Structure formats: structure tokens, C-alpha cells
Structure 1
């Protein structure tokens, strides 16, 4: 008879070790996001890589950083352990794509993140959601439409999603908090970064109100134009419906609209009476992406109805009850094809107590 409990504990230990090794690797100068991303896609074990960096072509950065021999490996491991404790002390969870508990909405997209860092309520990433995004320099009309949309959705039992950027995004978050709607902020930086400057208060309010902050970037990674474009795909993936409240055909929001279309999400434009004729982005998204356009306030019931049509069966939180063990990635990390059964083991949440008690030996 298979000891399911022991197998699940082995699985949990494996992922805990992989996270510490990942965080250790992320501190090595010359080893950045894309290097680690390639390692993850190649399904190379991060803990094994610390002992054999040449396998992934990172031997030179290790040597340059003075990480040589068993002693150097142990010192680097200790750095990773300290990083894990720091994240845990801030209530930050890390999940790999292949790990039990990784949100299905993110795993299902073709360019799924290899890992995510999450602060706050992980369950929000599984709930029906409306993404509300737009320009950093909104007009009065854009601000009005954003506030109107959030208020109209306040009784729909949904989650809102946006990017914490200045303008439409921050209004979407703050109005969600006002109406007690859990809201998800998708960052274009590492989760330990304060960006945009001055957003820390709103971010704290999001978390206190039961919301969520998420990113795929390394904990201390700074911003870049490329990061924000990639970030936009996660907003589109988490949202079941996308509302681009105010945007231009050539803009950051346009990337989010395209991602939403590619992922089969419904796109809903909002406009004031007679504004449709002077908004090229509305015509563009209707013709290219099959977007729906609602005139506010006349179509408010249609807006509410669209929210109600979102799949109402929330993806359940993972449970260990009656579950079968997940095959250990240390034994089987190759890519699989076709639909996969949702994993059932609970996610490891980087408990500081567990980290302290286990010590996670490198060898």
C-alpha cells in the first residue's frame, strides 16, 4: 500500500527545497530573470543546480560571486534560506507552475508563468474576476466610467483585477476597496519593490481588505517596459472579463486587450452616449477582437448581466483530503501534453516556523 501522507510530505519537502535554492540563485550577480526562466523551462532542479551550476551554464557567475566548493554552496544556501524567511515574514507565498495549488487560470495560458509570488489571499486568483485596466493619464470620462463599472459590479460576487499603476488601475483598486470587492494587483516589478512610488499605502489597503498582490518577477527585480507588457498577460489571464476603461490603440492597455482576446476572454468597452463614434479604439477592438461595447448609463443592466454570466463555480482551494500523491518533479519533470488533472496537495506557504525547524540541508 502506498503511504499517501508520506508521499505528500516528500512532495512538500521537495518544493520547499526548490524554493530556497531558487531564491539563492536569484541573489547571484549575473543570474537574472531570463536565465532562471530558461532553467525552469528546461525542468532542471534548482537544488541540484546549486551543486552543479555548469549543467545550466551558470558556473562563471558562481565563480565570480565566490561560490566555489561545498563551503560556497552552503553559504549560498544560507542566503536562500534567509530570503525565504524574509518573504515568509511579509506573508509572501511562492508557487511553481508544476506545484500543487498553482492557480489554474495562470497554468492554462500558453505562456504561463513558471512561478509566481503572492501576497494576500491566494483564493482570489481562483474566483470569478473582472479585469479593469486603462491609461495612466485618464480623462474625467475615463475616471467616471471606471468608478461606474466598479459600483455596478459591487453586488456581483466577483473579484477585480488591475495593475496598481497610476490612473485607471489605482482607481479600480481603490473603488473596489470602497465597495468591499476583493481586488488583485498584478505587479510589473518584484514583490519587494515599491512601485509606482507612493503606492505602498494603497497596496496595504488592498491586503487589509482581503485582496491580493501577485507578480512573476524576482523579489527585488526593478521595472522595465518589457516587464509591464508581460505583466499585462497575467491581468488578462486572471480576469474572466476585461474592461479597458480608457485606452488607445497603441498603448500598454492595448497589449492587455490582445492577450485577453488570445486567451478567449470577453472584452467589454464602456463609453458615454455618442462617444463611440469618436473612439477609434472601440471600433478597432470590435472589428479585430469581437469586443462588446456598452453605453453608460443606459446599458448598466447588461454590464451586471455579463458579470453574472462569468463561471460561478469557483476553483476550489487545494485539499489533501482523499487525494492521491503528485508525482515528484525530482523524478518526473518533463513536459506533459493534454489536459491535466488539477493537483490536490495544499501549497507550501513558506511558514517561518517550518523553515526554522527543518533547516533544509543542502546535501
Structure 2
């Protein structure tokens, strides 16, 4: 039974038998304040910071609006118990600024809703992310939420300084997964991320892009068009950072844990073991996700790190054998979700398009039928051998 919606709720003792903060405040009335409004308001409270906000969400979850019913002294006690510095001063600031913070939060929530951005609370997070150690407590999502929830997901990640061979390798990875009902996960950065998202858009693969900054911040500027197309094509852009929160290096590292956490397989197409992609590989290893590293003469040394991980595997993407191995792994993960898979679905889509656009003669289709018969004969002969 899924306990995520009741963890640390009423009637569940904290570790060691100590009462939770909710149990200490069981006399508080329930609140109808939306989680989104409560989160945005507290996120704007001066001095509360990430630590304090996380502590409050862990305790109150979707009933975060209860915080706004707390007298200043009770809120100060909660923050102090969570070891938030200057707890009393912060509680007093929240109490004094209550009306302004809530009014601004409602306005911001309405603005996000107009942009089709929804805020996912802790009990509604995808299981693969909710179960991560140190995982997110909420997510901002722009686009179609089904892209986030419906698997399988395959992360394609790599360096920002992508080489021509890295571009080819990344496009090969996406092209291979395009035959199956797989959603691509990447980080909407320049380099491999951008190549992966663009290839997915070209090949009809659904995208999930995780950001290292607020949902209303576009960075880098060159990816603005890709982001728009991801949303319009049924994908999703996702962030755990509050609106208007700008990018920092540490946030991109934390973004990488979400890519690895959501993914059924992580494919690192090019990178160095000292680069940012190495963080994604290490997160994937910690979460026991299968990791595929692409190798070719001149590829970066990230493959050394991947090859030493228990869940790591190296594949040569520019060989027929390597591509078949990758295809087998991707088809297998799609099959594991109960999807019906067809290895020639890309060919089928392209053939339908060609038939639609061309003035075909009967002999064109007869020649195609003969070619298929020849291929089937070769396959049968190969099996016979």
C-alpha cells in the first residue's frame, strides 16, 4: 500500500515514538487554502529559506495552509524544532506580512495557471521521484503532466561542449528509442541536452525537461524555442525551484538527480568524468539505474567512470552491433511497462507519409512487396543457419 499520502500525518508516530509536529498541533482547524498558494507565500517569506520551507512542507504536506493558521509563537516553535536559524524573527516577519504574502501568492498562482503551470504537491509526486532519498517535495510543471507520470523514461545526457561525433551519438540514441513508446528525459541545457530534445521533437518522441531554476526563467536563451515546442508537442518542462529563482551551479547538480531518478535507463552519450554529467551518472548508480555509456575513438573519459559502475555498460553507437544492443535494451524496457512494441514503427510512419505525398504507380508497391519478401527470406535463411 502506498503510504506517501499519510507519512507523518495524524496517527503516525515519528521515528522513536516521538510525536510529530502535526500531532503537537492537532487542535488546529483544517484549511481550504490551496497547497500552491501556501507554498508560494511561504517561499516569498523573508529569511525562511529552503531549509525552513522544506521543513514545513515535510510536516504539513498538502495541508501546508495550516501554517497560516499558526500564531507567531507556535510557528516559531515549529521552525526552532526544525533548527531553522532565527526562527522567532522569521515567524514574526511572516505574521506581520501575512496579508501581503498571501495576496501576492494568489496573484502568482493565477499567473502560473494562465501559463498552464501546475504545482504538484508531495503526495502526488511520481513514485520514482517521491521515493528518492532527498527527493523533491513539490514540482512545478508546464505542459502535459502525463509525460511525467507515464513511463518508461530514458534520460539522454552529456556535455555542453558536444563534438560532431557526440551529436551523431546523441541523435542515434534518440532515433533508436523513437521506435518505441518511450519518453526522453534531459536537462534543456546547451550541448547534448539540446541535441537530444531537438532530435526527439523531430522523431516524434515525447520530452520531459528538468530545469535548474524557476519555471518562469528561460536559460539558456538559445533553448527558448525548444522549450516552447516541447510543451506544444505534449511534453513537460519541470522544476522544483520556486518561480523567479535563478540558476546556480549547485541547482544544476540537484536537477541531475531528478533526471537520474525518473529514468528507467540513463544514456550518457559524451562527457568527461570531471564534468557535470558525471553527477548524473553517480546519482544513477546510487539509485541502481542502468547506465549506458557511448564509446568510440576519441570519446571522453566519462566512459571510464561508467564502466566501473555495477549498473554501467558501454556500447559503441556507430556499429551495427552496438545499435542492435541499444535497441534490445530500449525495447525491453518498453515491453516491461506492458506496451506493444514494433521495431519498424519508424519505417511504418515514414512509409505512410511517403504514400500520402507521392503519386505512386502500382509497380512501386509491387517492388516494395518484393523487397519485403527478400528481407523475410534473408531473415529466415539467417535463422536456418
TM-score bucket (shorter structure): 0.7 to 0.9
Q: Give the drift of 1:314.
A: 5.0
Task: For residue 136 of structure 1, report the CA deviation from its aligned partner.
Answer: 0.8
Q: Secondary structure at the match of 1:288?
A: coil
Contact 2:158 2:268 in 1 (8 A): yes
Distance 1:305 1:246 in 2: 21
1:113 CA drift (Å) = 0.6
Matched, 1:82 2:107: yes
Task: Please tell me whether residue 181 in structure 1 is matched to residue 202 in structure 2.
Answer: no
Counterpart position of 1:54: 76
Which of residues 318, 322, 325 is equivalent to 1:302?
Answer: 325
Partner of 1:94: 119
CA contact 1:244–1:269 (8 Å) conserved in 2: yes
Shift of 1:312: 4.0
Relative distance call for 1:221 and 1:115 in structure 2 (3 A) is same
Under a length normalisation based on structure 1, what TM-score does the superposition of the two structures give? Answer: 0.75
CA offset at residue 261 of structure 1? 1.1
2:272 is the alignment partner of 1:248: yes
Structure 1 residue 198, shift from structure 2 partner: 3.0
Structure 2 unaligned regions, length at least 5? 1-29, 80-86, 339-385
- Please name the residue that 2:132 is paired with: 109
Aligned to 1:28: 45
Paired residue total = 295
Larger Rg: 2
1:130-141 maps to which residues of 2 (within 5 A)? 130-141=154-165
The question of whether the paired residues in 1 share the 8 Å contact of 2:181 and 2:334 is answered with: no
Kindly provide the CA deviation profile for residues 256-298 of structure 1, in whole angstroms up to 9, marking residues without a partner as x: 00111111111011123x45xx753213321234411111232
Q: By how many angstroms is 1:128 displaced? A: 0.4
Contact 1:49 / 1:56 at 8 angstroms: preserved in 2? no
User: Are 2:292 and 2:306, in contact at CA under 8 Å, matched by a contact in 1?
Assistant: no
Tell me if the contact between 2:271 and 2:301 (Cα under 8 Å) persists in the aligned partners.
no
Uncovered stretches (5+) of structure 1, i.e. residues with no partner? 1-12, 316-363
What is the DSSP-based 3-state SS (H/G/I as helix, E as strand, rest coil) of the residue aligned with 1:49?
helix
Comparing both chains, which one has the higher relative contact order based on Cα–Cα distances under 8 Å and sequence gaps of 6 or more? 1
The answer as to whether partners of 1:28 and 1:62 remain within 8 angstroms in 2 is no
Matched with 2:148 is 125
1:334 aligned residue? none
Q: What does the per-residue CA deviation read over 1:134-180, in whole Å, with 9 as the maximum and x for residues that have no partner? A: 11111111111111111122111101010001100011001100001
Q: 1:51: Cα distance to partner?
A: 3.5
Provide the C-alpha distance between the structure 1 equivalents of 2:272 and 2:315, rounded to a whole number of angstroms: 17
What CA distance in whole angstroms lies between the structure 1 residues aligned with 2:195 and 2:99?
46
What CA distance in whole angstroms lies between the structure 1 residues aligned with 2:243 and 2:166? 32
Are residues 15 and 215 of structure 1, via their aligned partners in 2, closer, same or farther at CA, if it must alter by over 3 Å?
A: farther
Structure with bigger helix share is 2
Deviations 1:73-102 (A, max 9, x none): 333222221121111111011112224xx2
